[in-house]
Structure 1
């Protein structure tokens, strides 16, 4: 029986995918095998030693102490693409809201409540202050062509925009899904110089923090409109505010409000609604649960942020799973120990990601505890787990 701790309210559509004869799920549970989380901050939480995996029902993992988990052999999963359509729809809305002054116009209309029969005439007289350009025929620059960026780019093409994309690390799957009408920018600077609208779809990391700063803003067209539904830290707020005041940036749409941005007239702050749809919550929960199950039941890893993708069809009943630091001769030491115990290996796969590696080893016979302990004692081994297929 696997024990799952839910750190947030998780969509029932996802939880229903846990077989009740194999899983116990609760918001308070001792010695959990895994944690299922959405937005709860785990940095200040003591993660029990029993935890083998943490699944984030969403893409970002800033609320999870990933480095600590890696050192303890805890696999951290996320769900890239599960909320892509929800964020894409909000990005398209952001394009329109940044152009047509719709939000400002709606707010102004509310001031006419007491005007009675004068309202229609006042509307006709006042509407010109909310004029804005159409997006058709304009150039959209999409920075980051992952699941969301590709969908935004494709839909913008269908809306009649000229779309240019930049992503030096675009995946094969993303490239296959990208419309042929999307032009490729060789450099970020090249994209910034030609775009009328810019939308950000990259993760927040050391290399991208504050990537939109005054140096980059100076390259942009005067009056550019910027949409950021990815992470607030991608934009240097002080430089952004200066550019708004100078008229370099016409409008900034962000899903990450803060006190300073709320003071700015031409900043549209959305209360982090990117993935706030019932469909996205269900998709993320389902994907997170299925990834957890595949790992707990079969040892396979997909969509982990700290350990490599590693999947092996299980053809024999006994499976050894080893997480280790990515150093030479780890596989050799493991297989030597198994050979000394007369354990025959039927299949093996080893993959690495940055500082860590992961091994799936299938054997013909069960592995005695003394061999497991010997493998665990090898310098560089982080966690050893055994699965017996019933």
Structure 2
């Protein structure tokens, strides 16, 4: 029986999918599993009972990855589950910006509330009609969209934009995904892409190499009046420079899901409160994926798409006994297997991965549990557990 703690509200149907082998707890010190969305675990002391952390979302900057690895705690997330939600919001933000929809809707609300709105004996309809030219915008059909990063979200944005009649240029360091529309033109030179787009949409991770990807030099390459859409991470843009080029008109507008003290002061900025994955569908999908990965690990010993350990998969356990061992030094898995063989344990299948910290999953006939203490005393072994429930 495994106990789980929810640090945020998790989709109820996903919790039901955990099944009868899992029970809720309110105490972190008793938890084998932590399910989390946005709660900050950065300073959380991870108890000895904790076996895994599952983020019902994508980003894991709220989770102490290094400490988890050192303690043999597997961290899962759910990449791709919220891709469509973010992609749809990118398109919505692009349309809102190009058609000045936010400014127009805000003005209508304000004009209705002002006491002098109906000055000169004009009706409300007349006042609104006379001001509509203030909010004239642009159609996106025929405009050029540059998509930087062709991962799950970038591909969806590119394909949706093609369907809306935009010419789309894509930039990626990786192989071109098979799901990318053949009408997307892949550009290998980022500066070339920047100089030829009316709208730029960012879809790369906030790695040290991507910090201020849009620097002063790169923003100078942009086509004058270009709109920047950033639903990836605020750190990708040098916002100090961005504030200046928005004032000069070098950049026409900025659409972002990451408002902060700098960006809220910028002119021509449309800022949303981090709504990218905030749909009922994405929330449920992320939770279900996180739960399935927890179950596969705890019930079968298998690790699938963890952020701190490589894939280790022996499939469903089907009644066989397994031992999962975390180790510190590369090659330690072979010593562990040899130790079990010396104890007359009949090894069946094994699978292992090493990524700063290693994990080996061993399926065997014989009394694995009797060897657990021996394995735990081996130099370099961080953690071991038996999977035979």
TM range (shorter): over 0.9
Alpha-carbon distance change, 359 to 187 in structure 1, aligned in 2, over 3 angstroms: farther
Taking a change above 3 Å as real, the CA distance of residues 352 and 169 of structure 1, as seen in their structure-2 partners, is farther
Deviations 1:191-240 (A, max 9, x none): 22222111112222222222222121111111111111111122111011
**Correspondences of 1:49-88 after superposition (within 5 Å):** 49-88=48-87
1:105-144 aligned at under 5 Å gives the runs 105-113=104-112, 114=115, 115-116=117-118, 117-144=122-149
Q: CA 1:379–1:186 in structure 2 vs 1: closer, same or farther (change >3 Å)?
A: farther
Question: Post-superposition, which runs of at least 4 consecutive aligned residues in structure 1 deviate over 4 A?
Answer: none
Change (3 A) 1:184 1:287: same
Pick from 165, 170, 176: which aligns with 2:170? 165
Give the 3-state SS of the residue equivalent to 2:30 in structure 1. Answer: coil
Aligned residues: 382
Show the counterpart of 2:327. 324
Deviation at 1:71, TM superposition (A): 1.0
SS in 1 for 2:229: strand
- Which residue does the alignment assign to 2:102? 103
The 2-side partners of 1:381 and 1:122 are apart by 75
Contact 1:84 1:147 in 2 (8 A): yes
Q: How far, CA to CA, are the matches of 1:30 and 1:53 in structure 2? A: 13
CA distance, structure 2, for counterparts of residue 18 and residue 160 of structure 1: 44
User: How far does residue 271 in structure 1 lie from its aligned partner after superposition?
Assistant: 0.7
Once residues 95 and 329 of structure 2 are traced to their aligned partners in structure 1, the CA distance between those partners, rounded to angstroms, is 48
Contact 1:322 1:358 (C-alpha < 8 Å) held by counterparts: yes
Give deviations 1:151-191, integer Å, cap 9, x for gaps: 11111110011111122135xxx712211111112132232
**Residue matched to 2:385:** 385
Give the match's secondary structure for 2:194: helix
Deviation at 1:111, TM superposition (A): 3.0
Deviation of residue 301 (structure 1)?
A: 1.2
Task: Note the alpha carbon deviations across 1:306-357, whole angstroms, 9 max, x for none.
Answer: 1112211236611111222352x2232112101110111111112233x233
More divergent stretch after superposition (312-321 vs 82-91):
312-321
- Quick one: which of 251, 259, 262 aligns to 2:261? 259
CA contact (8 A) 1:316 1:362 kept: no
Mapping of residues 19-58 of structure 1, within 5 Å: 19=19, 21-28=20-27, 30-58=29-57
Task: Rate the CA distance shift 1:158–1:54 in 2: closer, same or farther, 3 A.
Answer: same
Contact 1:3 1:29 in 2 (8 A): no
SS in 2 for 1:62: coil
**Which stretches in structure 2 are left out of the alignment for 5+ residues?**
none
Greater Cα offset, 161-170 or 67-76: 161-170
Paired with 1:189 and 1:162, the residues of 2 have a C-alpha distance of 17
Give the C-alpha shift of residue 361 in structure 1: 1.2
1:5 partnered with 2:38: no
Deviation at 1:126, TM superposition (A): 1.8
